[in-house]
Each structure stands twice: as structure tokens, then as C-alpha cells.
Amino acid sequence: MIMICRTKQQLREALENKRKQKPGLTTGFVPTMGYLHEGHASLIRRSVAECDLTVLSIFVNPLQFGPNEDFDRYPRDEQRDLALAEASGADIAFLPTVEEMYPTKPLTSITVDVVTDRLCGASRPGHFDGVGVVVSKLFNLVQPQRAYFGMKDAQQVAVIRRMTDDLDMPIKIVPCDIVREPDGLALSSRNVYLSAEERSQALVLSQSLAKAKSIGETAGKTVQGLIDEVSNHIRESQLADIDYVELLAYPNLTPLAPNQLLLETPGELLLAVAVKFGRTRLIDNRILSFSEVTIDV
Amino acid sequence: MIMICRTKQQLREALENKRKQKPGLTTGFVPTMGYLHEGHASLIRRSVAECDLTVLSIFVNPLQFGPNEDFDRYPRDEQRDLALAEASGADIAFLPTVEEMYPTKPLTSITVDVVTDRLCGASRPGHFDGVGVVVSKLFNLVQPQRAYFGMKDAQQVAVIRRMTDDLDMPIKIVPCDIVREPDGLALSSRNVYLSAEERSQALVLSQSLAKAKSIGETAGKTVQGLIDEVSNHIRESQLADIDYVELLAYPNLTPLAPNQLLLETPGELLLAVAVKFGRTRLIDNRILSFSEVTIDV
């Protein structure tokens, strides 16, 4: 049976008991905003395979939503989430209220520069500051050795990796592959918002990302050339309203010169897209490399 | 014998060994910038009395010094420090280099609002952001249950308390009384900068703070009235160049109305001064209460 903790105190006591029973026990942590899908389940299963104890958190964090974003309508289904978490092997579920997490307005903010300059950091101001605070709080409450994050939020992974490195947090960040529907759509709790027509047109994201590798390998193709082709492909879907299509160095998310030749660009690159279909903003990405030259990061 | 760790890895291994030997061991932590004096020794002794293991760090943190401050000339004496730390009962001394603490420029910054608006937060911009980052790093490396800070840096204590509360860090912050020379001068590593004449005139700080209680108890005395009397007293010392004299609500460091009557001001108040004598900036403070009315904080 999965153990349910709704307060910080309950969570601390549950963890203390487990750790007393088995000194040296390793804890894996999967922070989520709930409305779990197979992507989350894959994180839980990986933690279960690698750690003695797996803690899942479900918390829709108001700090990381902008004033015109979907905090209030973000989908929630606690019973289904707990069933899926238990079936995937999680040992403890932490489900705090907003008041439990933030009994007073936090005065402390955490900002990670450079990695937040582009992509969602640019189009959702303050978003990653809110992520930094809530992830720090959860890390301090759970004190895991390993924490599992999906690569669909590739920038979030980069931000959290940088924060844990910079602050010497004793936690290994484990990035996990994007899980997709059979037709290619990246799993997201927000997919539930999509109408049938939007759902169908949203396939253009994974399709355009899948084509990017062969497009970029064409002789003479530049950074901007690839961005333009991907953007044009997405625009063929009438309902697609592009927020960004960007190609950045990975994992530092630094910009590339637009006229740089891809075949001469060493290392891994992140091709990331954010596109609105109706009121629903979807993101997707792919890590690519075009040059044979590798670089140490 | 005190154990000396110069790298994060050495420190992590030393702590892991101690904790394996004695599961459930409690760790007390005393972060310092070195050039230890009896004030630091009192923190170490308190930790030794309250915890199984006491870790001291000595690190002059460049992030918390402004461009025109005294980072380069800040006094250092490792051998004397280690002797004093050992005599006071510390078990482990962590003495990293700047390169060890910051192998790359940190992109992560931690800001605590409101509590940093006044006092040294106002006159040393960025100072407490640097404190927040280094204290977070040291907390994550040492993972203490208790951390000891001197009340001479009263605002630092308030900032760190707020940060640990906001981020749910599992660490109790223990504020410790200011230690003074027999003539009243608050101990500070920076006292070594003072000429004999400056040293003598600097006594005006502790003397004016000591008088504040009786001045404030005078009928009709206001917040601004007390600040003015303390300031005038300090100005009687020719070499004193006042940076600030402030009276704030404690521990939140929120401002008080200048015309507020002290006898009608509930709760504890922080009277804090920062004054330059030549090139040396000294701080001192006192917690006061004038009203019989208490408030819960």
C-alpha cells in the first residue's frame, strides 16, 4: 500500500521511520504536478528499480504559473493518480495543500541565470524562479539521493541540474526520456485540454522534430535554416500558433549563431518548440547532434 | 585532533564515515570567515555542548564582498584559527579554496526580500545574495541539524532564518549572544584594522547602544527621537562616520513609523548601527523592548 502524507510533518516522520528501520536506505524522488500519465509512471518505475524507497509528490505549484496561465484549471484527479502511483511501485505520496507548502508568502527566491534566458524562461517570466523554490523545498523535505525528471521539460532539467550543482545539493538529477503516444504526441497532463481537431493537428510537433535530424544533415544547412524549416512545417497546421522554435547548445542552453553551419557545430543541441493549439500550450523537444566532433561538457 | 578537510570530497567522506560509525549522530555547524576570536569560540563551544559532532568552516566568500570592500585584505591566519578551533572542541574544519567552492561562476542566486531592505542589505548591495548562496552550499555539504550564528550580524541571522524557513531546510538556526571585550567593544575579525585612536573611539558604539534602553524608556520618546540621540552620541567621536543607525521590528526587520512612541511599540526591536572609523566599517546592535505588551512572532 502506498503511504499518503498530506503535511510536511507526516512526511518527515514517515521518512525518519523508514530510515531508522534501514540505515543507509537510498531514496528516489519523483516531483510532479499530478494528473499522472505513462511519462510519470516511467519515472516512478525507474526510481523503484534504482532506489530502496520511492517518494512521489503531487503539488500544483502556484508560484510557477503566470497570472494569465492555467493554474486554476490545471487538471487534477487524486484518486486516479494514487492508483497509478501505487501500481508503478511508489512507496510514499506527498500531497500537500498550497497552505501547507506556503504557510506565509515566501520572501526567498532562487534564480538561475543564462539557462533561463531563452525558451520557456523567456516566454513565461518568473516560471523557473517558482520551479527553483518549490523543487528546493521538496528536496529539503524528502532529502533524496536521486531525483527523476522527464526530458519533455528539457529546460527544467537544465535549470535544476545547474541549481543542484551550484548549491552543492547532494542529489543526483536523473533525466528520463520523453514518453510518447503511439502516434508520436509527447505525453502531457495538458493534452486533456485538446479538442479532437487540435489533438490531430498537434502531431505536427513530434513530426517536425523527427524530420529535423535529416534536414540538419543536408550540406550547407545553418542553425537559422533548420529553425525556419521546422517553423514552416509547424505552420502548415492551421491551428498552430508558434510561441518559439529554438535551437540551442545543450545542456547549457546558450545561443548559437544563426548562420552557423550545423555540420560544423560540435556537441549536442536542443531543438525545442512551444506551440499553442487553441488555449493549450504544448512543448516538445529533441536532442540532436550533427557534427562528428564531440565536446566535453 | 581536529580533522582538516580542504575539498568537498574529503568533507563528504569524513562526514559519511562519522555517520556510519554512529547512526543518528547529530551535527552542529559553525560557518565562519576565519580569523577566529572568542565570539567564534563561543559558537563552537555551544555546538560541542549540544551536538555529537561539530564542523567548523573557514571560507572568506568573495560573493558577499562588494567591489570596493575588503575581500583582499580581510585578515587570515589559518594556523591560529585551527589551534583555537581545536581548543574549543571542533571535530572537523573545512577550509576550501575559492576554486574549490566555485569551480565555475555560479549562475544560481538566492535573494531574501524584505529582511534585506534595510541596514547592511541597503548599504552593501548584493551582500546577502552572496551570503545566501554560500550558506546554502555549506548547509548542503555539511548537512547539519543545527547551525550557530553570532548575533553581531543580526540581519544575517534574520536572513538565514527566513531562508531556511522558506525553503524547508531541515536545520535549526541557533542565534548566539554577541561577545564583547571587557571595555564593551563587540568582537570582530575587522577590529585588527583599527589604530589605537580608532579602537578607543569605537567604544562609542557599545556605549551608545547600552544607553538606548534608558533613553527609550523616557516618556514621549519616539522611534526617530531614539535614533537621533544615539546618532548624536556616536557623532561626538570625531573619527566616527555613520553608515546607519536604525531601529526596526525584530526579527522581521520591518520599519517602524518615525513618530511612533516607543512605550507603545510592542515586541522586540533591533537597534543596529554601522559606523566607519577610518577605512574600517564596524557594526553592533542590541535587541530592546520598551512596551510591556508582547507579540507572538
- Nearest CB to A113 within list B24, B107, B113: B107
User: What count of Cα atoms within 13 Å lies in the side-chain half-sphere of residue A177?
Assistant: 4
Question: Running DSSP on this structure, what letter comes out for residue A277?
Answer: E
Number of domains in chain A: 2
Q: pLDDT band for position B287 (50/70/90)?
A: very high
- Nearest CB to B23 within list A8, A23, A133: A23
For residue B258, how many other CB atoms are within 10 A of its CB?
12
Residue B29 and residue B149 in one domain = yes
Strands A27-32 and A53-58, sheet pairing: parallel
**Gap between the Cα atoms of B152 and B120, Å rounded:** 12
- Nearest CB to B112 within list A8, A107, A166: A107
Residue B137 and residue B262 in one domain = no
Residue A146 and residue A54 in one domain = yes
Strand spans (E) along chain A = 3-5, 27-32, 53-58, 92-94, 108-112, 146-150, 172-176, 240-249, 269-277, 280-288
Does the pLDDT at position A171 exceed 90? Answer: yes
Residue A125 and residue A158 in one domain = yes
Q: How far is CA A44 from CA A48, B127, B221, in A?
A: 6, 41, 63
Mean pLDDT of A56-84: 96
Which residue in the list B5, B15, B27, B40 is annotated as catalytic? Answer: B40
Final residue before a domain boundary, out of A117, A148, A176: A176
Which residues in chain A have Cβ-Cβ distances shorter than 8 Å to B163?
Answer: 108
Mean pLDDT of A92-111: 97
Structural domain includes residue B293: no
Q: Which among A168, A172, A296, A297 is the top mutation candidate for probing chain B, defined by the most B β-carbons within 10 Å of its own β-carbon?
A: A168
Does the pLDDT at position A169 exceed 60? Answer: yes
Residue A7 and residue A126 in one domain = yes
A158 touches chain B (CB under 8 A): no
Q: pLDDT band for position B283 (50/70/90)?
A: very high
* CA–CA min distance B23, chain A (Å): 7
Which residues in chain B have Cβ-Cβ distances shorter than 8 Å to A169?
Answer: 140
Name the A residues in 104-143 with CB < 8 Å from any B CB: 106-115, 132-133, 136-137, 140-141, 143
Q: pLDDT band for position A270 (50/70/90)?
A: very high
Residue A122 and residue A44 in one domain = yes
Residue B112 and residue B145 in one domain = yes
Residue A198 and residue A172 in one domain = no
Q: pLDDT band for position A291 (50/70/90)?
A: confident
Q: Is A127 a catalytic residue?
A: no
Does the pLDDT at position B222 exceed 70? Answer: yes
B102 assigned ligand-binding residue = no
Q: What is the CATH number of the domain that holds A41?
A: 3.40.50.620
B74 assigned ligand-binding residue = no
Structural domain includes residue A181: no
For residue A133, how many other CB atoms are within 10 A of its CB?
23
Structural domain includes residue B295: no
Does the pLDDT at position B236 exceed 90? Answer: yes
B34 assigned ligand-binding residue = yes
Percent of chain A surpassing pLDDT 70: 98
**Gap between the Cα atoms of B207 and B209, Å rounded:** 5
**Gap between the Cα atoms of A58 and A93, Å rounded:** 7
Residue of B nearest to A108 (CA): B112
Structural domain includes residue B181: no
Contact across the interface for A168 and B112, Cβ inside 8 Å? no
Say if residue A267 is exposed, middle or buried (CB neighbours under 10 Å; 0-12, 13-18, 19+): middle
Q: What is the CATH number of the domain that holds A208?
A: 3.30.1300.10
Structural domain includes residue A182: no
Residue B130 and residue B260 in one domain = no
Q: How much is the mean pLDDT over chain B? A: 96
Final residue before a domain boundary, out of B155, B176, B197: B176
Taking only the tens place, the pLDDT of each residue in B3-44 is 999 999 999 999 999 999 998 899 999 999 999 999 999 999
User: Reading across the β-sheet that carries B269-277, which strands appear in turn?
Assistant: B240-249, B269-277, B280-288
Does the pLDDT at position A214 exceed 80? Answer: yes
A291 touches chain B (CB under 8 A): no
Helix (H) or strand (E) holding A138: helix A127-142
A17 touches chain B (CB under 8 A): no
Residue B39 and residue B148 in one domain = yes
Residue A167 and residue A210 in one domain = no
Cα torsion angle, B211, B214, B219, B224, sign: positive
Taking only the tens place, the pLDDT of each residue in A218-256 is 999 999 999 999 999 999 999 999 999 999 999 999 999
Residue A33 and residue A165 in one domain = yes
pLDDT at residue number A294: 59
Q: pLDDT band for position B291 (50/70/90)?
A: confident
B185 assigned ligand-binding residue = no
Contact across the interface for A167 and B141, Cβ inside 8 Å? no
* CA–CA min distance B12, chain A (Å): 10
DSSP per-residue string spanning chain B: --EEE-SHHHHHHHHHHHHHHSTT--EEEEEE-SS--HHHHHHHHHHHHH-SEEEEEE---GGGS-TTSSTTTS---HHHHHHHHHHHT-SEEE---HHHH-SS---EEEEE-STTSSHHHHHSTTHHHHHHHHHHHHHHHH--SEEEEEGGGHHHHHHHHHHHHHTT-S-EEEEEPPPB-TTSPBP-GGGGG--HHHHHHTHHHHHHHHHHHHHHTSTT-BHHHHHHHHHHHHHTSTTEEEEEEEEEETTT--B--TT-BGGG--S-EEEEEEEEETTEEEEEEEEE---S-----
B166 touches chain A (CB under 8 A): yes
Structural domain includes residue A296: no
pLDDT at residue number B295: 61
Taking only the tens place, the pLDDT of each residue in A15-32 is 999 999 998 899 999 999
Structural domain includes residue A144: yes
- Nearest CB to B114 within list A23, A107, A167: A107
A156 assigned ligand-binding residue = yes
Final residue before a domain boundary, out of A154, A176, A198: A176
Structural domain includes residue A282: yes
Residue B213 lies in domain? 189-288
